[in-house]
């Protein structure tokens, strides 16, 4: 026999053997061979496992590790035996399959199943089932997706046999990198639109169905083949923006450098209906990232950016939100920006970019005063086309302005910045001086605070001098007072000093002689007789009314005591001479002189009692010689000048002596 013919016969035999095990349905829907995917799908069901494809067929099977003989019985009204067929699996196990006769398939009726081991009649499995609970449908076909016109959303479509279209429930499984895996179940209207997806990610989804007419649902079908698609993105992802500058023409532009893999086209539709077809925008300029078209002020406009009008599943598509022209205004920059400098204040003015909207615009001014410095922004609160900037004295400036609808009637976005206006403002010396005053005060305060610790102690001594220690100050004084005597030393009194003069007491000669007899250290208390006074340098009153006279005194002569007034610095009392009757002497300067005697005698006066003239006198010439003093000049008759001299003469003499 020819060798090729042998091979043909062999392959035909193999094909027939394999064909007998193929998944072939008869006209009633029963199977002669179980696909392993169905076996795996029902692996969690109790044995014997059963399913129905059309509700008019019914198949049950169970799996054993060996190829023994088993008997399968089912009972509806009476028990019948089912012939089993055996199928070997890839795991070397055996499937024992029972296909019910179509006449024995009943809906809404329980069927009792029993499996026995042949030869021993040992019951292996028992179970009660109903056909309507064991329906196993094929998964949906022709699965696809379409866009809803919004980013992050997808609308799914699929096909199911019309006989089951209104009788089944659906399950959808979808996943992406950031979203993870999610599952949903429900009717078609609930599941045909997927929302809250991650824009720009590849989404993979599958669909399955089960019978949903009864309380106990049938088996879930297999998952359909997975379908992958790109989730639509927002127009912001590619910086797509559309605006009108005149309420008639619409301009759209985007950044083509974000996704460089393809060249995108712009499509738009005018109107609120999503069923309207997309119209491609024809580029009138030599720009690949900009396109314009005509619109209406009150029409709803939506645009999308994609490779084509019907993008492929994995093509990127960018959708904008629907908008109207009144809410998408972007005017041109303000024009004719001018400046006016008034006393260090920069005042700006400009022209509104769109006169029809001049009452509905706001403006923003930003400026900086040095190259590379930060820009400062000032916003206006109304449609005024002017403003003033302060605090720019003595600096260079760069200023720009932009406009935007106020959002009440018209809304939109900020326009581009106007052309830059540059200039400089001269310095204001007065303001500079005023601004330096706080700094100067601060410096002075710092210097003053730094000097306080150094001069604080001196200032305290001036404002609050220390209190003297009275114990030390009065210690010596109290010691002298408590002593036995207190004899102050003789001191020559100067006439210029404001010290009290020596006490002059006029007394009789006899009393004076009696006073000389006392010891030098004792003081003689004297009674003052009428018309007599003693002479002494220091006097003290005793408690008994007597005077204590020291040893230094002079006796005045009552006969020839005629003080002279030649130099005009001696003192004489007229009433003394008058009382003694000395009115026969010559008068000098309108005052009568009394006769003088050469000896030291007392001058009697007419005063009585304690009427003592407390005046200052010095010793006469003779007495002055006794004390070692200059007697002074003599008179014309050769006699000594017995007058009392002033303190000044004594002062000069003392000075000469000390010299």
Max avg pLDDT among 313-317, 567-571, 624-628 = 313-317
- Could you count the other beta carbons within 10 Å of the beta carbon of residue 175? 16
End-to-end CA distance of the chain: 183
**High-pLDDT (> 70) share of the chain, %:** 64
- Is pLDDT at 238 greater than 90 in this prediction? yes
The whole-number average pLDDT for the span 151-160 is 93
Average pLDDT, the chain: 74
How does residue 619 score in pLDDT terms, banded at 50, 70 and 90?
Answer: very low
- What mean pLDDT is predicted for residues 350-360? 89
Please state, in angstroms and as integers, the Cα–Cα distance from residue 316 to each residue in 62, 153, 264, 308, following that order: 50, 13, 9, 10
Predicted pLDDT at 568? 41
Provide the whole-model pTM.
0.56
pLDDT digits (tens, 9 = 90+) for 256-291: 889 887 888 999 999 888 888 899 998 766 677 888
Averaged pLDDT, 109-115:
93
**Residue 272, token pair as written in the block:** 């609120």
Distance CA 390, CA 550 (A): 96
Peptide bond into 48 cis (omega under 30): yes
E-assigned strand segments in 180-316: 180-186, 193-194, 202-211, 227-230, 233-234, 241-244, 249-253, 265-270, 279-280, 290-294, 301-306
pLDDT at 117 over 70: yes
Q: Which of 406, 255, 256, 399 shows the shortest CA–CA distance to 331?
A: 406
SS3 call for 358: helix
- For 531-555, what is each residue's pLDDT tens digit? 444 344 444 445 444 444 444 445 5
- What sections of 517-565 are H helices per DSSP? none
- The 3-state DSSP class for residue 83 equals coil
DSSP state letters, 302-352? EEEEESSSS--TTS-EEEPPPB-GGG-B-PPPPEEEEEEEETTEEEEEEE-
Per the CB < 8 A criterion, the answer to whether 90 and 36 are in contact is yes
The HSE-up count of residue 360 (CA atoms within 13 Å, CB side) is: 17
Q: Answer whether residue 594 shows pLDDT above 60.
A: no
| pLDDT grade for 213, boundaries at 50, 70 and 90 | low
Q: How many CB atoms lie within 10 A of CB 166?
A: 11
Could you tell me if residue 391 is left (phi over 0), alpha (psi between -120 and 50 degrees) or otherwise beta?
left
**Lookup: tokens for 41:** 């799908």
């Amino acid at each position: 026999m020819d060798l090729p013919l042998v091979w043909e016969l062999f392959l035909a035999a193999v094909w027939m053997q394999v064909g007998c095990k193929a998944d072939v349905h008869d006209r009633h829907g029963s199977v002669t061979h179980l696909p392993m995917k169905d076996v795996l799908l029902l692996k969690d069901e109790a044995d014997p496992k059963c399913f129905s494809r059309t509700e008019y067929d019914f198949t049950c099977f169970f799996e054993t590790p060996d190829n023994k003989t088993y008997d399968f019985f089912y009972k509806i009204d009476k028990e019948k035996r089912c012939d089993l067929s055996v199928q070997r699996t890839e795991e070397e196990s055996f499937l024992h399959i029972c296909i019910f006769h179509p006449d024995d398939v009943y809906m809404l009726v329980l069927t009792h199943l029993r499996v026995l081991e042949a030869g021993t009649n040992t019951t292996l499995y028992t179970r009660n089932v109903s056909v309507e609970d064991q329906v196993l449908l094929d998964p949906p076909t022709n699965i696809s997706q379409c866009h809803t016109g919004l980013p992050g959303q997808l609308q799914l479509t699929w096909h199911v046999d019309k006989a089951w279209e209104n009788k089944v429930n659906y399950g959808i499984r979808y996943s992406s990198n950031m979203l993870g895996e999610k599952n949903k179940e429900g009717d078609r209207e609930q599941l045909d639109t997927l929302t809250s997806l991650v824009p720009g990610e590849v989404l993979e989804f599958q669909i399955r169905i089960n019978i949903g007419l009864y309380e106990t649902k049938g088996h879930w079908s297999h998952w359909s083949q997975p379908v992958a698609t790109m989730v639509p993105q927002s127009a912001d992802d590619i910086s797509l923006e559309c605006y009108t500058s005149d309420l008639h023409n619409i301009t759209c532009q985007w950044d083509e450098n974000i996704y460089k893999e393809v060249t995108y086209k712009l499509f738009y539709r005018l109107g609120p209906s999503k069923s309207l077809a997309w119209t491609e925008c024809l580029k009138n300029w030599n720009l690949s990232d900009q396109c314009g078209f005509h619109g209406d002020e009150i029409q709803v406009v939506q645009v999308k950016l994609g490779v084509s009008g019907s993008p492929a599943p994995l093509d990127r598509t960018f959708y904008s939100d629907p908008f109207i022209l009144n809410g998408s205004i972007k005017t041109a920059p303000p024009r004719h920006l001018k400046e006016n400098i008034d006393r260090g204040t920069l005042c700006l003015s400009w022209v509104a970019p769109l006169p029809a909207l001049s009452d509905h615009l706001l403006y923003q001014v930003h400026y900086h005063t040095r190259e590379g410095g930060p820009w400062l922004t000032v916003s206006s609160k109304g449609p005024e086309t002017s403003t003033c900037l302060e605090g720019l004295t003595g600096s260079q400036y760069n200023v720009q302005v932009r406009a935007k609808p106020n959002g009440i009637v018209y809304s939109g976005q900020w326009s581009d910045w106007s052309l830059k206006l540059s200039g400089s403002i001269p310095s204001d010396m007065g303001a500079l001086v005023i601004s330096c005053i706080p700094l100067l005060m601060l410096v002075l305060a710092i210097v003053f605070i730094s000097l306080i610790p150094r001069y604080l102690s001196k200032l305290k001594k001036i404002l609050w001098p220390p209190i003297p220690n009275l114990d030390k100050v009065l210690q010596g004084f109290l010691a002298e007072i408590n002593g036995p005597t207190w004899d102050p030393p003789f001191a020559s009194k100067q006439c210029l000093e404001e010290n009290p003069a020596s006490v002059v007491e006029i007394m009789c000669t006899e009393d004076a002689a009696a006073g000389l007899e006392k010891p030098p250290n004792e003081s003689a208390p004297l009674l003052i007789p009428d018309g007599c006074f003693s002479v002494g340098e220091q006097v003290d009153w005793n408690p008994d009314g007597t005077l204590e006279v020291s040893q230094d005194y002079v006796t005045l002569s009552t006969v020839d005591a005629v003080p002279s007034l030649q130099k005009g610095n001696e003192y004489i009392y007229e009433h003394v001479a008058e009382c003694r009757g000395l009115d026969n002497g010559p008068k000098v300067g309108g005052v009568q002189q009394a006769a003088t005697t050469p000896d030291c005698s007392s001058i009697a006066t007419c005063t009585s009692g304690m009427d003592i003239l407390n005046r200052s006198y010095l010793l006469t010439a003779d007495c002055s010689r006794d004390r070692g003093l200059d007697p002074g000049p003599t008179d014309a008759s050769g006699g000594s000048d017995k007058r009392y001299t002033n303190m000044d003469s004594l002062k000069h003499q003392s000075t000469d002596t000390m010299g």
